[in-house]
Amino acid sequence: MDIKSTVDLSWDEFDELRQPRAEQSDFDAVVDRAISRRGFLGGVLAFGSGAAVFGSGVLGSATSARAASAVFGFEPIGIATDFDIHVPAGYEWRPLVRWGDALFSEAENAYSAVDGVPADMSDKVFGENTDGMETFEKDGHVLLAINSEYVNPKINLPAEAEGVPQTAEQVQMLKNMQGVTVVEVADQGDGWRVVVDSPFNRRITHDTPMTMSGPAAGSDLVKTNADPAGMSPLGTMNNCGSGKTLWGTYLTCEENFNGYFGTTQEREATAEEKRYGIGGEGRYAYEKFDPRYDLSVEPNEPHRHGWITEIDPTDPNSTPVKHTALGRFKHENAEMVQAADGRIVVYMGDDERGEFMYKYVSNGTWAPGQPTEGLLSDGTLYVAKFHDDQTGEWLALTPETTGMSIEDILVFSRLAGSKVGATTMDRPEWIAAHPHRAEAYCALTNNKNRGVKTNAGGDETPVGGPNPRETNRYGQIVRWKPEGGDHGAAKFAWDLYVMAGNPDVYDNAYGGSDNVTAGNMFNSPDGMAFSSDGLLWIQTDGDDSNEGDFAGMGNNQMLVGDPDTGEIARFLTAPNGAEVTGLTWTPDRKVAFVGIQHPGGHWPDGEGKPRSSVIAVWRQDGAVFG
Ligand code: FEO
Ligand code: CA
Ligand code: CA
Ligand code: CA
């Protein structure tokens, strides 16, 4: 594969190019069932008989609604197709931090609208392609930990054809533009801004020293020439969604790590590598300049990525920890809740077509003030199995259930999930847990291969259950209630909170569920977070062509949904080209921080390069929102 052909691809397209999957065509019977919109809607917004079995707190099926303004406190906005941000009347926004903005005063003039950021300043500025983020407080200081998922090589290396790096220094610059930023922010009287030179400011890049915890730490699978003990990996990469532990640390989630590795010599990929899309040439030519990324030199290096990594943003000298007990896959985010008995539960999605949804449950319990040792290194990994009757179960991934060693289960979690028959999903993106009741939501962003092709491991992807539409362009949000209202339970009831769709184009399942209208339609739900009032904020990363199947949807957007009524209202529209991803609030909840990734045009400066940025959004009357 020629890297020049991959530089403009989405990570999803890159997967398909690297590993084309066999065509299948035996799903027609189930498709007939799935595309009957009326026939399906019994499963939307109505926990079925399974929920009745589990008793408490069954949601109503009403989609009738209070007026949007009464529920949400704003008048929903229309679509946009321009290169600007729009928010409802009564709200304002402005950039908080842009790609290339200085974290330290020595880098204050580092960014150039023509050349980007020079290599020697590239670890002293805010990285590119902002994604998940969380807010922390330390001694009155407000800190943000923010992911920078990947780089656009053409933007960062405008002098090189197709942005392909030609020197080790250029590779170093690209590496530094990714990873995690910890930055202090403050309202300095004229709105929220970065506190330049704060002692908390820190960049964590592809080269930052880390440690590993859990059963796969130190195993043969993670040993390399540079680290024969397998305990000291370098760097975190493709940091997508985020999570926050109950004890106040940051969880960064390593998603499309596979694309960074390549080989300089002919070599056949193993079955495990193929399942993870590892092989061929890397997207950024790292392997040509850094042997760590060369599979023919360091075949175990990819095993040291694809984890949930814990960072303490309040201690700039702390060493990040990769937690192998939470499994290795294309981690989207990590939503931590607690079981009724105090055990720690982490919900996680694996964002690739036909991959799985996971849950980790600790062996130990925790309460505020107690030690956290072992909570993310000693526990059991489960994978979700959905049944068509709107029940489901978490299947434990253990040597007994899989026939694999615990090290293999954790490093090759996808293969373990296949062994127990997990449900192949429509690309699980963020999972968000309701703050006031035992209920969680997962955005299934889309899956053009649903009912058409297997996943990368050859598992079939039949239409049905929470993945009810063949060639699913629009996506849906599945939610579940654990049995007995206990996130530690092995069983759950599920329904679909929303099926995105286009009611102007389709009068069938592709028209979406009843809570999708011409006035609020969207595609490809991705980022999600609950505000403290129990409303679900939904961010999209989809087709913003506003044409054909997507006519009337406009640019990517952020909406808010009421879990009780199903009502969904559009709150924000992004510049064309961008996805909206990452959402957190100030401690007083008067200001929201929203991530705008890969914008087009000249946003936000109005000239020069487009700059991925975090924006602040607030109410003009200064009231709490979120
Ligand atoms: Fe980085 Fe699945 O989004
Ligand atoms: Ca995402
Ligand atoms: Ca996405
Ligand atoms: Ca993205």
Q: Can you tell me which atom of ligand 1 is nearest the CA of 349? A: 2
CA distances from 76 to 71, 87, 334, 537 (A): 11, 9, 30, 13
Q: Strand 192-194 relative to strand 202-204: parallel, antiparallel, unpaired?
A: unpaired
Is ligand 1 within 6 A of the CB of residue 426?
Answer: no
Query: Residue 56's pLDDT band (boundaries 50, 70, 90)?
Result: very low
Residue bearing the bigger pLDDT, 21 or 204: 204
- Stretch 270-276: mean pLDDT, rounded? 98
**pLDDT at residue 64 in the model:** 37
Is ligand 1 within 6 A of the CB of residue 355?
Answer: no
Q: How far is the CA of 311 from the centre of ligand 4 (A)?
A: 21
CATH architecture of 3-619: 6 Propeller (2.120)
Q: Can you tell me which atom of ligand 1 is nearest the CA of 149? A: 1
Q: How far is the CA of 285 from the centre of ligand 3 (A)?
A: 24
Q: How far is the CA of 554 from the centre of ligand 2 (A)?
A: 19
Is ligand 1 within 6 A of the CB of residue 287?
Answer: no
**pLDDT at residue 7 in the model:** 77
Is ligand 1 within 6 A of the CB of residue 352?
Answer: no
CA distances from 285 to 1, 291, 530 (A): 12, 11, 39
Element (H, E) at 96: strand 91-98
Q: Can you tell me which atom of ligand 1 is nearest the CA of 332? A: 2
Is ligand 1 within 6 A of the CB of residue 240?
Answer: yes
Distance of CA 440 to the CA centre of its chain: 15
Q: How far is the CA of 73 from the centre of ligand 2 (A)?
A: 27
How does pLDDT run across 135-178, given as a tens digit for each residue?
A: 999 999 999 999 999 999 999 999 999 999 999 999 999 999 99
Q: How far is the CA of 496 from the centre of ligand 4 (A)?
A: 24
Give the tokens for residue 509: 């399942």
For residue 32, pLDDT beyond 50: no
Distance of CA 230 to the CA centre of its chain: 27
**pLDDT at residue 467 in the model:** 98
**pLDDT at residue 70 in the model:** 66
Give the tokens for residue 322: 């990769």
- What residues form DSSP beta bridges with 136? 143
Give the tokens for residue 612: 């991925």
Beta-sheet strands, E only, within 195-281: 202-204, 211-213, 239-244, 250-254
Is ligand 1 within 6 A of the CB of residue 429?
Answer: yes
Name the 3-class secondary structure at 524.
Answer: coil
User: Token match 């921080």: residue?
Assistant: 593
- Ligand sitting nearest the alpha carbon of 254: 1
Q: Can you tell me which atom of ligand 1 is nearest the CA of 427? A: 2
- Ligand sitting nearest the alpha carbon of 129: 4
Is ligand 1 within 6 A of the CB of residue 579?
Answer: no
**pLDDT at residue 543 in the model:** 98
Residue minimizing CA distance to atom 1 of ligand 1: 240
- Ligand sitting nearest the alpha carbon of 598: 4
For residue 52, pLDDT beyond 50: no
- Ligand sitting nearest the alpha carbon of 238: 1
Measured distance CA(160)–CA(30) in Å, rounded? 49
Computed over every residue of the chain, the mean pLDDT equals 92
Q: Can you tell me which atom of ligand 1 is nearest the CA of 445? A: 2
Q: Can you tell me which atom of ligand 1 is nearest the CA of 238? A: 1
Is ligand 1 within 6 A of the CB of residue 255?
Answer: yes
Q: How far is the CA of 241 from the centre of ligand 2 (A)?
A: 6
For residue 69, pLDDT beyond 80: no
Neighbours of ion ligand 3 (CB under 5 A): 526, 541
Q: How far is the CA of 306 from the centre of ligand 3 (A)?
A: 17
Is ligand 1 within 6 A of the CB of residue 227?
Answer: no
Give the tokens for residue 217: 């730490």
Q: Can you tell me which atom of ligand 1 is nearest the CA of 240? A: 1
Is-contact 180 149, C-beta < 8 A? Answer: no
CA distances from 346 to 170, 365, 512 (A): 37, 13, 30
Is ligand 1 within 6 A of the CB of residue 149?
Answer: yes
For residue 523, pLDDT beyond 50: yes
Is ligand 1 within 6 A of the CB of residue 332?
Answer: yes
Q: How far is the CA of 526 from the centre of ligand 4 (A)?
A: 9
Contacts (Cβ under 8 Å, ≥6 apart) of 284: 3, 151, 153, 165, 171, 174, 259, 260
**pLDDT at residue 280 in the model:** 86
Is-contact 441 422, C-beta < 8 A? Answer: no
Q: Which residues of 189-224 are buried (b: 16+ CB within 10 A; e: fewer)?
A: eeebbbbbebebbbbbbbebebebbbbbbbbebbbb
How does pLDDT run across 75-113, given as a tens digit for each residue?
A: 999 999 999 999 999 999 999 999 999 999 999 999 999
Q: Strand 211-213 relative to strand 321-323: parallel, antiparallel, unpaired?
A: parallel
Is-contact 461 453, C-beta < 8 A? Answer: yes
**pLDDT at residue 16 in the model:** 80
**pLDDT at residue 189 in the model:** 87
Q: How far is the CA of 240 from the centre of ligand 2 (A)?
A: 6
How does pLDDT run across 294-306, given as a tens digit for each residue?
A: 999 999 999 999 9
**pLDDT at residue 6 in the model:** 73
Q: How far is the CA of 223 from the centre of ligand 3 (A)?
A: 32
Percent above pLDDT 70 for the chain: 91
Of 242, 179, 168, the C-alpha closest to 207 is: 179
**pLDDT at residue 27 in the model:** 36
Q: Can you tell me which atom of ligand 1 is nearest the CA of 330? A: 2
DSSP string, 373-419: TTTTTSEEEEEEEE-TTSEEEEEE--HHHHSS-HHHHHHTHHHHHHH
- Ligand sitting nearest the alpha carbon of 527: 2
Length of the chain: 626
Name the 3-class secondary structure at 540.
Answer: strand
Q: How far is the CA of 540 from the centre of ligand 2 (A)?
A: 8
Q: How far is the CA of 427 from the centre of ligand 3 (A)?
A: 8
Domain boundaries, the chain: 3-619
Provide the phi-psi class of 589: left if phi over 0, else alpha when psi is between -120 and 50, else beta.
left
N-to-C CA span, the chain: 46
Q: Can you tell me which atom of ligand 1 is nearest the CA of 131? A: 1
Q: Can you tell me which atom of ligand 1 is nearest the CA of 255? A: 1
Q: How far is the CA of 26 from the centre of ligand 4 (A)?
A: 32
- Stretch 473-491: mean pLDDT, rounded? 98
